[in-house]
Amino acid sequence: MVRTAEKPRICRALISVWNKDGIEDLSRKLHGMGVELVSTGGTSGLLVSKGIPVIDVAELTGFPEMMDGRVKTLHPKIHGGILAIRDNDAHKSSMRIHRIPAIDMVVVNLYPFEETVAGGAGYDEIIENIDIGGPAMIRSAAKNHRNVTVIVDPDDYGEVCSILESEGEVPFAMRQKLAAKAFARSAAYDRAISNWFSDVLEYPDMPWRSHGGELGQVMRYGENPHQWAAFYRDFKPETGVASARQVQGRTLSYNNICDTDAAFSLVSEFDASQTCAVAIIKHGNPCGVGLGSDLEEAYEKALKCDPVSAFGGVVALNGEVSKSVAEKITEIFTEVIIAPDASPEALAVFKEKKNLRLLLTGGLGDVKSDALQVRSVAGGILVQSRDNRNVDDCDLKVVSKRAPSQQEMEDLKLAAKIAKHVKSNAIVFARNGASVGIGAGQMSRIDSTQIALRKSKDAARAAGEKGALCTGSVMASDAFFPFADGLIAGIKAGATAVIQPGGSIRDDEVIAAADKAGIAMVFTGMRHFRH
């Protein structure tokens, strides 16, 4: 049974904040309602300078702030006043005997640990920005939410004051919600600290690991309408969907975010100063990727690979979108466009498509980031380092009798980069700077090859061409060929060169099949499974 205090009146509030946004207005309103204010250091000094009466914590505890501010609120007269159960006779007796005044509201936010780390501070400075007293008070107040109101977010000041002015109390339901928020903030803070230590110590197998973030949005639903979902962002998210500015369009859905992240991760593999890149994603897999001297050429190449699947997809570009590119993209229905930037003329074109979601990131993603990836499974989570390498990091080895031509090698590298972002088993055909057939997520590599060939034939027919686009192309496989049959299927589809990790016990058999067909084969030594 949940016990609720009978209309607890707020007589005394302890205010100790690093982020002082809104604190003057809150304190002034509380004082106007007859609430006695207790405060510390910088917060106390600010309020006094604004003419708001404040009792210093040192006056309440009888002990001065000491050890460079490390010890100021860690005292029985603070935590006793917060934790005491107001209708418990033993607690009331202890308060009376030890002259502990009740504290009915705690307004605390924490030292800027995350900001300090993000700013590149040194070890000692980061350690000093680990808050101790703040989390202790937050947890004490949140635990005793039956009697105490805890506020950790300046965004809640206005609502709390409004309800105090109208009702004279903070309802239990609101105290519960504020307490839950306080525990979540404390958990996220500790998560940031523990993960920083893990990184500094290079301690990947830490016995406990926590993950969390700040609520970005609540979704209408998850992958399906019967599932609920929410999007939580890291404190300082990497450049991408989490950090992007949404210029227009409806709120992103769960599936939109998944696909947009996949698309932007793929185009971020390509240096915009070297080549323009466009990727079109549908249900987590690329249905077309193109490179070009400009984004219009790259988009046309990407679209040609699978124009049917591109309908209702997500388009990612690695450069600024021009008016002509915007007009091309909006010729078919597109759910989301994500790019570093867009010209004013392009924005005007997109504005005509009210339902189109447009995200601008200000730059490309960091494909070399060593940030962790987390996935939930029933009863636990899987954590791994990011797949932050690609074919450019490999010591490529030509294992066939014939070496690839310069154009074949360029296309092999492109196909390998695309295959990294295709669900396993992945087969990618590429020719002249574009994907021309993609097979994804099949149980065998032969199945993926056959699907890629079929789609390539469909794309050729849609373009008014005969045969298949993959004729005369190169082929990439995300993992080794366990048997020669997968390679042979690719050769029959029209591949003239193949890139794969190698490492099968039957590599000799596979290489022999390549030599028999007169095609070039390159080993990367690096697998890119994607599940």
Catalytic-role residue among 31, 92, 283, 353: 283
Cross-strand pairs, 521: 498
User: What is the rounded CA–CA span in Å between residue 503 and residue 478?
Assistant: 12
> What is the β-pairing status of strands 55-56 and 149-151?
unpaired
**143 assigned to active site:** yes
> What is the β-pairing status of strands 473-477 and 495-500?
parallel
The contacts of residue 399 (CB under 8 Å, 6+ apart) are 502, 507, 511, 514, 521, 522, 523
Cross-strand pairs, 523: 397, 500
Catalytic-role residue among 29, 92, 143, 211: 143
- From residue 325, alpha-carbon distances to 108, 277, 343 in Å are 49, 12, 10
Q: Is 22 exposed, middle or buried (0-12, 13-18, 19+ CB in 10 A)?
A: middle
Q: Are 374 and 211 in contact (CB under 8 A)?
A: yes
- Give me the DSSP letters along 490-525: HHHHTEEEEEE----TTHHHHHHHHHHHT-EEEE-S
**283 assigned to active site:** yes
- Give me the DSSP letters along 437-469: EEE-S-SSHHHHHHHHHHHHHHHHHHTT-SS-T
User: What is the rounded CA–CA span in Å between residue 306 and residue 290?
Assistant: 12
Q: If we measure between CA atoms, which residue out of 319, 291, 323 comes closest to residue 305?
A: 291
Q: Are 415 and 474 in contact (CB under 8 A)?
A: yes
Active site residues: 143, 283
